Amino acid sequence: MTRYIIIGAGAVGASLAAEFETHGIAYVLVGRGVQIDHIARHGLTYRRPHGTRQIRLQAVNTATPPVLKPDDILVLTVKTQDVEAATAFWAWLPVEGGGLAADLPLVTVQNGLAAEDIALRRFSRVYAASVKIPARYTVTGEVVVGGAPNLGIVTLGRYPHGLDDTARDIVADLTKAGYLTEARADITRWKAEKLIHNVTNATELFAATPDARAAIAARVADEARTVLHAAGLDPAVPSERTFDISGWHVAEDSGIEQGQQSTWQSFTRGSSSEVDYLNGEIVRLARLHGIPAPLSEALQQAVARLARDGGRPGSVGIEVVGEP
Ligand SMILES: NC(=O)C1=CN([C@@H]2O[C@H](COP(=O)(O)OP(=O)(O)OC[C@H]3O[C@@H](n4cnc5c(N)ncnc54)[C@H](OP(=O)(O)O)[C@@H]3O)[C@@H](O)[C@H]2O)C=CC1
Ligand SMILES: CC(C)(CO)C(=O)C(=O)O
């Protein structure tokens, strides 16, 4: 029987574990630090639009990982900056009956385009997922997911290209768990499409009027689209979806506030920044293809200074980004 090993007990990982627990899908949630200690001891406080539950989860510390079985599927729900260390740790663990974890399927949910190539150095079967889920982790032991009626939208395929039975089985389990899910053979195009949005995450870290923030967000998204096209990545467009997502929304009073996406959450918790893999990915592609990406570069540098100086969201005005 398939069992999912969910690595990283944050917004995406802990909510996935809560849904697997609720829907009878076998899993173990592996985390670190106070978050996993809290969840293992007290359960997860899981807030959804229809109510808050305290859920007991199969939760273990990464210091004592579960013995892996041949039917396990690993789901990596850490941020991109932690993918190298996490894949180095997991890949060479033994699997019961012989073999290494490196030959088990590994699902990468990270925003940006870097996680899959890092994983592919060690894992032979990588399944990339583009995850649109309004999830928040800012309080130890608590995760909020505001998507309604479904939790969020997951697009998944074999990396670098294609679909197979494992991809379809994962999609079926995610659908059972309450996500709107689609299997796509061209998954990198969907990850590129999502990156056009995630380069705007950085704008939420600076104090600004809503108009000033919206203006810079629109410009940095346009710049990212141009760079991704120039790099030949052909980002997908929403009309290519095989199902209608127009009814999906973030519920009012769900606890999810606009302007508090995953990067904002990291800074709010004083954790590390993923921006070098979001705006930094656009900067890298632009440099490889000899084109400019001044706005992503300026945002990346402004965020790096904020992180270096221990700044919190809103402690510095958006003017520090300059007028590139
Ligand atoms: N939050 C959201 O709404 C969304 C996030 N995403 C993407 O999904 C990915 C996960 O994001 P998110 O859930 O927000 O991240 P979080 O920071 O909320 O959670 C990641 C968790 O993984 C832990 N972790 C890091 N390294 C390891 C390790 N080696 N072993 C075990 N645990 C580890 C972190 O611990 P510590 O805190 O100690 O670092 C943290 O608790 C990111 O790439 C993000 O961009 C995509 C869509 C929405
Ligand atoms: C899905 C979305 C846009 C959540 O708001 C996200 O990717 C993030 O928080 O980084």
Residue 323: pLDDT band with limits 50, 70, 90: confident
Looking at domain 3-190, what is its CATH homologous superfamily? NAD(P)-binding Rossmann-like Domain (3.40.50.720)
pLDDT digits (tens, 9 = 90+) for 22-79: 999 999 999 999 999 999 999 999 999 999 999 999 999 999 999 999 999 999 999 9
* Distance from the alpha carbon of residue 97 to the mean position of ligand 1, in angstroms: 31
User: Strand, coil or helix: what is 125?
Assistant: strand
Residue 262: CA atoms inside 13 Å, Cβ hemisphere, count?
A: 28
Amino acid 10: pLDDT: 98
Instruction: Look up the ipTM and state it.
Output: 0.98
Measure Cα distances from 57 to 127, 150, 197 in Å.
Answer: 24, 21, 32
Ligand 1 binding pocket mutation candidate from 44, 194, 262 (most atoms within 8 A of CB): 262
Domain 194-234+251-321 falls in which CATH fold? N-(1-d-carboxylethyl)-l-norvaline Dehydrogenase; domain 2 (1.10.1040)
pTM above the 0.80 mark? yes
pLDDT digits (tens, 9 = 90+) for 107-145: 999 999 999 999 999 999 999 999 999 999 999 999 999
* Distance from the alpha carbon of residue 270 to the mean position of ligand 1, in angstroms: 13
Check: CB of residue 71 under 8 Å from CB of residue 1.
yes
Residue 154: pLDDT band with limits 50, 70, 90: very high
Closest-lying ligand to the alpha carbon of 144? Answer: 1
Residue 209: CA atoms inside 13 Å, Cβ hemisphere, count?
A: 3
Q: Where in the chain is the domain with CATH 3.40.50.720?
A: 3-190
Enter the DSSP assignment of 94: B
Check: CB of residue 144 under 8 Å from CB of residue 254.
yes
Computed over its alpha carbons, how large is the radius of gyration of the chain?
A: 19
Check: CB of residue 195 under 8 Å from CB of residue 112.
yes
